[in-house]
A and B are shown apart, each in its own frame.
Chain A
Amino acid sequence: MAFAIRKATTYLIKRMHLRPVRRVKFTFDPYMKNAVSIRDVASTLHMPDILETNQGTLLKFDIKSDRSEPQMDVEFNDGHKLIFKTGHLTQLEILDYLYELVDEKDPKKSEGPEIATKSSKIGKMKGKKK
């Protein structure tokens, strides 16, 4: 993999989260050569760091043997359903599209960042001592 693609992929993986996602289903026939990208994406979304962002997300595999085209079904918490037909997409492209939508629907996005005050820091320190 080219260096630039690898770098872009790691950039997306670091920022990826599943907060607004309820269910993801990976359907593919492993014997098809165009199923590599969906398998890579499945591995990426199963990474412990990404799974920790929403422990209620269901990730499911549906492995077929009928030469069907690879497909990724994403169901969001607001009922929106998304279908990726990944036959002609690379891992980076799938992650890019998915991140765009996931980031748009992120419930934490409207919240401001946590302000680290002096008192909160002291509180944390005390908690650690206990």
Chain B
Amino acid sequence: MASNLKSVCRYFSTSSRLLKKPNIQKPRVPWTERRILNAVSTPILPPDERPLPIRCCDEMNAKIAARETELSQAYKAFRKKQIVKMFTENKMVAICHIVPMIPRDAFSVRAKIMAAQINLCFANKKFVREYLEESKYRNLEPYIASDTVYVVSPDNKVAQLLAVLRKTPELQLLGGLVEDTIMSKEMMINFSKMPPIEVLQGELLTILTSSIATTSHLLSTQQEQLSYNLSQLTQRGVEASVETNNDEHKDIEVKET
């Protein structure tokens, strides 16, 4: 009975005065030798030079660490894995600023994006930053602030993305990652205006072949000219010799007559 009462009292009361008197006695001052021993044995630690916010958060961090369970850790690992997957498996990862909206609007925005066969991903800023710090996309870090959302696609669909985002003012394009290249908004717009890669490769091929043709032409023209001149010269020489022979024959005939 007494134990029950004790537990109930402990549950409902904020002080322990109901059961016993509080001990307000000051601790006794230890004798001199003991005090000397205490003074000598207390360690002299170097001053804590960490910034104040970190020093103050020590206790809080310890509490958070104690609160973490296996399940929560597994969930965090899963989320991190998803972020890695998002950046590695997709060719296009556009980072957008999202404004708060009512669920109905959010649904319509998602529907518009899904209609263009592009996916909308949400990720924890902290986890994304952790991943980016270690990866080669470290320069994407400034974009990851405030409310960000990721529009991803396994193929390069920048033009479709821009067409969709033009109709959705709730999402503002900031920049992104297209085919392993970090791009700003302006760069993405310019990229979308470019023709497909096959056409560009064809153009490059024509430019390369034309340059080769011109160089070969420039190299060979002088030789051709020289050979032409020489052939002309030899022809003239032959003609001249033939003419002189003819003249000699004529002279001989005249003399004979």
B contact residues, total (Cβ < 8 Å): 19
* A36 and B145 form a contact (CB under 8 A): yes
Report the minimal beta-carbon distance from A72 to chain B, rounded to whole angstroms: 14
Are A30 and B142 in touch, CB under 8 angstroms?
Answer: yes
Name the interface size band of chain A. 10 to 19
Q: Cβ of B100: which chain A residues have Cβ within 8 Å of it?
A: 43, 46-48
Cα A38 to Cα B124 with chains together (Å): 20
**CB pair A30 B99 closer than 8 Å:** no
Complex Cα gap A32–B143 (Å): 8
Most chain B CB neighbours (cut-off 10 Å) among A31, A33, A35, A43: A31
- Cα distance A47–B105 when bound, in Å? 12
B102 contacts A48, CB within 8 Å? yes
Q: Are B142 and A32 closer than 8 Å at their CB atoms?
A: yes
Contact of B102 with A39 in the complex, beta carbons under 8 Å? no
B146 & A65 in contact (Cβ 8 Å cutoff): no
Chain A hits for B120, CB < 8 A: none
Q: Residue A39 contacts which of B97, B175, B186 (CB distance < 8 angstroms)?
A: B97
Q: Taking the complex as formed, is A40 at the interface, i.e. its CB lies under 8 A from any CB of chain B?
A: yes
A30:B97 contact, CB within 8 angstroms: yes
By a beta-carbon cutoff of 8 Å, the part of chain A in contact with chain B is 30-33, 35-36, 39-40, 42-43, 46-48, 61, 63-65
A-B contact list, 30 entries, CB within 8 Å: A30-B97, A30-B142, A30-B143, A30-B145, A30-B174, A31-B142, A31-B175, A31-B184, A32-B142, A33-B142, A35-B145, A39-B97, A39-B147, A42-B97, A43-B99, A43-B100, A43-B146, A46-B100, A46-B101, A47-B100, A48-B100, A48-B101, A48-B102, A61-B97, A61-B169, A61-B172, A64-B186, A65-B175, A65-B184, A65-B187
Chain B contact residues, CB within 8 Å of chain A: 97, 99-102, 142-143, 145-147, 169, 172-175, 184-187
